[in-house]
Structure 1
Amino acid sequence: MAILLSLVAGLPARAQDGPFPRNMVQPALQQAFTAILERHLEPAAPADLALWSLRGLGAVDTRLSAEVVSGLLRLTLGDRLLAELLAPAQPLQPGTPPGAARPEARPPADVLASTLTEFYAAAWAASPVLRHAGAERMLQAGFDELFNHLDPYSRYVTAQDALEARERRVGQSSLGLRLAGGRRNVVIIASVVPDGPAARAGLREGDQLLSIDGYPVSARRITEAAELLEGYTDTEVSLGLRRGNRRLTISLRRSSQPSQTVRAERSDGLLWLRVSHFSAQTTDDLSTALLDAFSGPQAPRGVVLDLRGNRGGVLMQAMSVADLFLTDGPVASSLGRHPDSVRNWRAAGRDQAQGRPVVVLVDGRTASSAEIVTAALSDRGRAVVVGSSTLGKGLIQIVVPLSNGAEVLISWSRVLAPLGWPVQGLGVQPALCTSLGLDAVQAELAQLFAGQAPRAAVLARLRAARAPVPASEVSALRNTCPPAEGRELDAEVAKVLMDRPGAYGTALAR
């Protein structure tokens, strides 16, 4: 069916700030929509994708708005109609007979790209605000609104940001520190890597971060604070801090040396392993710590794996870290619409903790790769999890480069725990919950000492969940142990479990 086009007469053929860059915009749209339609985790109708993209232009020029009326996609500037096109049709679904009528002769991504290009051209001609913002901002606004409807992690990365991301190191890692949100929306220094730039400059855990290079920071926008720390190797960043009643300004130089992600300590006969994030070296560092501890004459009686505040990192490191504690069997799997998104990971090594008890500490900031490790060890009956509900980030993204130098990051598969439940949204549930306070912990421990696993019903309900999980069920499960930041109580509970093998065994049972 031919596309119906109605453009208002009298619009200027050339924008005052330059012609519409059609040769840049249309190929980028075509490449992006090909990937989204084929690979995104959730199917979406082309008409919806077009409408969402057009509505995103309103973030640049608030006078622009879009709607669908009687199958026609309309773009207006105030009360002025700029363009009207037939809304792109739904593509044929898998299994449709070869002879079935096809709504569009061209591939849906091509129709989407050409349709939006016409709308974008009309908006460009009519809106000085849009022309001033530029084509990259226009594309970003369209994709931002589109991805707002699809999932929280897919995004469009501009050409400049994509270039810088390939050339720079992550600031938190190269500076040897980790940020976290504190009370009253303050940002605090949550941890400092020994011998890193932050430690050498005198930063301490608990310091309040006020500004980065003069820009004030808030826990409400902590992601932006982390991004402000990013920069090129061997460049400086200035931090404004509060320590008690004192205000400090400290300059740090970003290091070119990879930071250590694993911190190992021996205490009370236990090996405490703190993993701050997952880098390319994490498995090797963790393996070295385990081998060193268990090769001597006084091997530890148990291992506490502390993943609190660990936001994840390299996905494959999660699989190999879990493998350090398992001998065989499933670690995780992934499932999406595209055949290439379906994968299974299995353990193939030997248990480097030599079968000793393992407790994993988690909190509301434990995410992504750290959640995968926790879910694997919990589902497989290899570790007892202590803490609170974790973040619930269990989507895998692919990076699709575009012809304009930009990229789209697309969530294309869900991570499933060994027993088949999705990590996304649900997060990992602990066997002992500490986020409800001391009285609740004591009550759970009392049940454990009596031979009853206090959260067995919650864990059974979690493990029975299958994607897509209704929002009401996600909320109900997470409310049984609300996400919270780690606390000293976590480590105390871990010690109790290590001291009481019977209680550990009861908590471990599936």
Structure 2
Amino acid sequence: MRHAVRPMIHFMPRSREAACRPALCLAFCMFILIAPTGPAKAQTPADTAGTAGQAAPAISAASPVPQPALSVSLTREVLVAALGFLEPRTLEAHSARDFCLWGLDGLTAIDPTLSVTETRPEVSGPAPSPGGAMAAEKTSGDASAQGPTILNVLQGQTVVFSRIMPASDSNGAWADLVTAAMQAAWQHSATLREAGSDALLQGFFDELFNHLDPYSRYLGPSPASSDRTRRTGNTGTVGLSLGQSGRMIMITAVNANGPAWEAGVDTGERLVSVNGRSTRGQDVTTVQGWLEGDEHTSVTLGIAAKGHRTTTLRLERTQVPPETVFASTDGPFTVLRVTSFSTQTAEEISQYIDQVVDEPTPDTPAPSASKNKTAGIILDLRGDRGGVLQQAVTTAALLLDHGVAVTTHGRNPLANHIWAVQGGDMTNGTPVVILVDGRTASAAEILASALADHRRAVVIGSETLGKGLVQVIGQMPNGGELFVTWSRNQAPLGWPIQGLGVMPQVCTSLGAESLQAQLSALKQGNTLQGEAVQMARAARYPVPVTKILDIRKHCPAAIGSDADMDAARVLLSSPAAYRAALESVPDENSAPIH
């Protein structure tokens, strides 16, 4: 990966020379953990949003007023794509029948007067009573021996739809059935029509995913678009944020992931013109819009620093992910606060590391390089809810010489990976402390566990959230997205992150007295948290809930506090304490077999 040097405002002087680093050997697939990148395509790829191809409005028998249109063809396309995407990927095997019957409960969730039932002619008596989906007469045994099963949609006591169910694994036939059932319900329910077609699909998937896990979900076209922007950035921009000073437009921030940064644009400079149009007297929103356009198109900027003439820059618009890493110094220590893991997080971290850890080069003798070496790095992952899995792995690779960062295990063979890294520690062994709290989750937990299990960093704080499931993303024909859990994470020493979370080597959630006792013991080469750390690392999937609770009580999850940073300073200032905390994690050779 590229390690471009980036300046840090109020942090270090600017330097734009690139540092050459060994390539990282990683197998890249597109997975997200939240939360949670590059979407995995469903069987029917989706590059357009909206409800194109809508059916003509149906007329209710009870009212002459035209109904809002339900896009029957698009609804079916989404269902076919979703069923094809779900079936091979969910952690447990389920059929199209399961998914569709679960999802149809979404009708009842939107309009409680609607209900979905199953009947079989041979055993059914009077018309089925309303109830939740699958609430009516269900019989066990072989369905074929007892005749076909009929799906009914009722409004109150009135059957508004009835059709024989197809074979359990027939995706197309089930998509047809659900689409027809939705259409019938739509025609009879003003509540559904008021909610709209997007809500109809949202309700279907919400009820479907209620039967799976807490993290699988569906995002409709609009929120899916916003989420893609959060992960990968807007299409066509240069990475500038603007403000106003009188009649002038000022540059208030420069995104380090964008072309403006690479061109040397700085905060505090004046944006004089965009494509020859003067910005003087214009409002910020208008000028911001001038900067945006189609990806790979060019835009010409007139930039003026105070006391200097205007410089003309021609930049190419690109996707610019949001910044997720923010640097500062705390005495001799470098603090990198990571808010999430987007598609450029590891690159941002590498840029900062390049800047604070100078390596000897043919032109720079070792003594000179070592003068600027930081006394320690503090990675602040408190409140970091995660993001892109491989960004966590790549970040671990920046600090590890080699080793396994995480393994993933699922039903689909493509979900099974050993995420191994090699390439060399960019920091040359600089001490690293990681701050976590009860909100630290997912990709952030992967990074913390990888560095702690390899005795490369000391984790300080409280038990983390314990989100150890990986989602793969499927784009739907309507522009929506499915986030489907398809694998579980296992830390390098073999313990599952899901439920357990990461047990810190230094616990700050037990109170000031306990923290002081822990730090005093560590300075003497002892650890008071060692038993809890060893217990957590010895756990193996599946871990009973009672055992999870018993382990987590040794360092209860809490919101981060100033005590975390105070403990980090103490630890990084005492080599003996730092070493003792590292060694409280079992050596990989003595850990239980995975």
Question: Do Structure 1 and Structure 2 share a fold, with TM-score over 0.5?
Answer: yes
Instruction: Please give the alpha-carbon distance, in whole angstroms, between the structure 2 residues aligned to 1:476 and 1:234.
Output: 53
CA-CA distance at 1:335 after TM superposition:
1.6
Counterparts of residues 62-73 of structure 1 (less than 5 Å)? 62-65=112-115, 66-68=132-134, 69-71=137-139, 73=151
1:142 partnered with 2:204 = yes
The 3 A distance-change label for structure 1 pair 234 and 337 is: farther
Partner of 2:110 in structure 1?
60
Compute the displacement of 1:446 (Å): 4.1
- Mapped to 1, the partners of 2:467 and 2:286 lie a distance apart of 28
Give CA deviations for 1:305-331 in whole Å, capped at 9, x if unaligned. Answer: 222222223332211111111101101
Q: Distance in 2 between matches of 1:384 and 1:166?
A: 33
Structure with greater contact order relative to length (CA < 8 Å, sep ≥ 6) = 2
**Which of 16, 20, 33 in structure 1 is aligned with 2:83?**
33
Residue 110 of structure 1 and its aligned partner are, at CA, apart by 3.1
Out of 417, 426, 432, the residue aligned to residue 506 of structure 2 is 432
Equivalent in the alignment of 1:269: 332
Please tell me whether residue 49 in structure 1 is matched to residue 112 in structure 2: no
Note the alpha carbon deviations across 1:2-40, whole angstroms, 9 max, x for none.
xxxxxxxxx959995167543222232122112112112
SS in structure 2 of the partner of residue 359 of structure 1: strand
> Take 1:388 and 1:83, find their aligned partners in 2: how far apart are those partners?
54
Match of 2:490 in 1: 416
Structure 1 match to 2:421: 347
Radius of gyration: which is bigger?
A: 2
Q: Distance in 2 between matches of 1:121 and 1:265?
A: 57
Query: After the TM superposition, which of the residue ranges 387-396 and 469-478 deviates more from structure 2?
Result: 469-478
Contact 2:519 2:571 in 1 (8 A): no
Contiguous gaps of at least 5 residues in structure 1: 1-10, 89-103, 177-193, 202-230, 236-254
SS at match of 1:149: coil
Contact 2:97 2:169 in 1 (8 A): no
Q: 2:153 aligns with which of 56, 62, 75?
A: 75
The answer to whether structure 1 residue 380 and structure 2 residue 454 are counterparts is yes
The residue aligned with 1:492 is 566
Q: Does 1:311 align with 2:385?
A: yes
**For residue 456 of structure 1, what is the amino acid of its counterpart?**
G
Check 1:139–1:289 CA distance in 2 against 1; reply closer, same or farther (3 A cut): closer
Contact between 1:375 and 1:417, CA under 8 Å: does it hold in 2? yes
Matched, 1:109 2:177: no
Q: SS where residue 360 of structure 1 aligns?
A: strand
Query: Is 1:17 aligned to 2:45, yes or no?
Result: no
Equivalent residue number for residue 287 of structure 1: 350
Q: Is the 8 A contact 2:495 2:537 kept in 1?
A: yes
1:154: which partner in 2?
Answer: 216
Partner SS for 1:38: coil
Gaps of 5+ in 2: 1-59, 116-131, 140-148, 242-251, 256-266, 269-284, 290-317, 359-368, 587-594
User: 2: CA distance between counterparts of 1:330 and 1:405?
Assistant: 36
Partner in structure 2 of residue 121 of structure 1: 183
Paired residues for 1:468-507 under 5 Å: 468-507=542-581
Q: Corresponding residue for 1:336?
A: 410
Q: Give the TM-score normalised by structure 2.
A: 0.63
Equivalent-residue separation in structure 2 for 1:116 and 1:13 (angstroms)? 23
Q: Is the 8 A contact 2:409 2:489 kept in 1?
A: yes
Amino acid at match of 1:137: A
- Could you list the per-position Cα deviations for residues 240-265 of structure 1 after superposition, in whole angstroms to 9, with x for gaps in the alignment? xxxxxxxxxxxxxxx99655433344
Q: d(CA) in 1 for partners of 2:287 and 2:484?
A: 28
Greater fraction helix: 1
1:165 CA drift (Å): 4.8
Q: Is the 8 A contact 1:234 1:256 kept in 2?
A: no
Q: 1:331-374: CA deviations, max 9, x gaps?
A: 11212111111122112111122123221111122222221111
User: Considering only aligned residues, what root-mean-square deviation do their CA atoms show, in Å?
Assistant: 3.4
Distance 1:476 1:21, change over 3 A: same
- Under a length normalisation based on structure 1, what TM-score does the superposition of the two structures give? 0.72
Shift in alpha-carbon separation, 1:466–1:137, aligned structure 2, 3 A? same
Q: How many residues align?
A: 416
Aligned-pair CA distance for 1:87: 6.3
Alpha-carbon distance between aligned partners in 2 of 1:416 and 1:129, rounded to the nearest angstrom: 45
Change (3 A) 1:355 1:256: closer
What fraction of aligned residue pairs are identical, expressed as a percent? 40
- 2:503–2:555 contact (8 Å) kept in structure 1: yes
User: What is the aligned partner in structure 1 of residue 444 from structure 2?
Assistant: 370
Single out whichever of 328-337 and 453-462 deviates more from structure 2. Answer: 453-462
Deviation at residue 382 of structure 1 after TM alignment:
0.9
Deviates more, 1:446-455 or 1:428-437: 446-455
Task: Indicate the SS of the match to 2:211.
Answer: helix
CA displacement, residues 19-73 of structure 1 (integer Å, 9 cap, x when unaligned): 7543222232122112112112233355543332121112221212333222455
